[in-house]
Structure formats: C-alpha cells, structure tokens
Amino acid sequence: KAGVTQTPRYLIKTRGQQVTLSCSPISGHRSVSWYQQTPGQGLQFLFEYFSETQRNKGNFPGRFSGRQFSNSRSEMNVSTLELGDSALYLCASSLGGLAGSTDTQYFGPGTRLTVL
C-alpha cells in the first residue's frame, strides 16, 4: 500500500497570508491527525478527523482549521500566518476504529512551512 502523502513538501509564505496543506491517508484509513513539530516544542497535536468530522482537538488558536473529505483526504488551513507558525506540519493516518482505543498512527513526510 502507498504510504501517507502530503503536499506540498515545502512552502514559503509571509506574515498575514494564509496557507492550505493537503494529506492523503493510507488506503482504508479513516482517521487523519495533524501535528505541528518545532525544535522547541516537539510534536504537538493539532486535530483529528474521522468520517469527515473533527473528533479531537488540540490547544491551538482558531487560525488553525481543518477538514476531511468523503475519501478521507484531509486539508488543514492556517490563516493570518505568524512567524511562530514556521514548523514542520505532519499528517498521520490510522484505521481509527474502536472507541476508547488508540490506533497506530502512520506519518507522512511532512510539509515544511517557513513564514517570513
């Protein structure tokens, strides 16, 4: 099976702009999670989508949003970019099935966002 894919791999934006990142999960996986990774803060959970619904949310401002489509592909959007949004944005997919159970997450290569 093909792994998790993310596009684009690299982005350079300026403060105040907005950006949309895309993630295609492993075939058959219905859960997609997004993470922000920086050297100082490590891996931080943004949100998780399952069956087109946001099921879990991390502690990020409303400028960070996402959605999931019927084919499980997901996008995340960051509006009004700030310098501190520069990071590696990772998408992970999992089967996402059993309630109260943690599935193994499989990560994509990430999108490197630089905000100038």
Partner 1 sequence: GESVGLHLPTLSVQEGDNSIINCAYSNSASDYFIWYKQESGKGPQFIIDIRSNMDKRQGQRVTVLLNKTVKHLSLQIAATQPGDSAVYFCAEGGGSYIPTFGRGTSLIVHP
Interface residue list for partner 1 (CB under 8 A)? 4, 6, 31, 33, 37, 39-40, 42-43, 45, 48, 50, 55-56, 88, 90, 92, 94, 96, 100-110, 112
**Looking at beta carbons only, is 15 or 57 nearer to partner 1?**
57
**Are the CB atoms for 48 and 60 separated by under 8 Å?**
no
- Residue 34's CB: how many other CB atoms inside 10 A? 24
Q: How far is the CB of 19 from partner 1 (least distance, A)?
A: 17
**Looking at beta carbons only, is 39 or 62 nearer to partner 1?**
39
Q: How far is the CB of 47 from partner 1 (least distance, A)?
A: 9
At residue 15, the 3 state secondary structure works out as coil
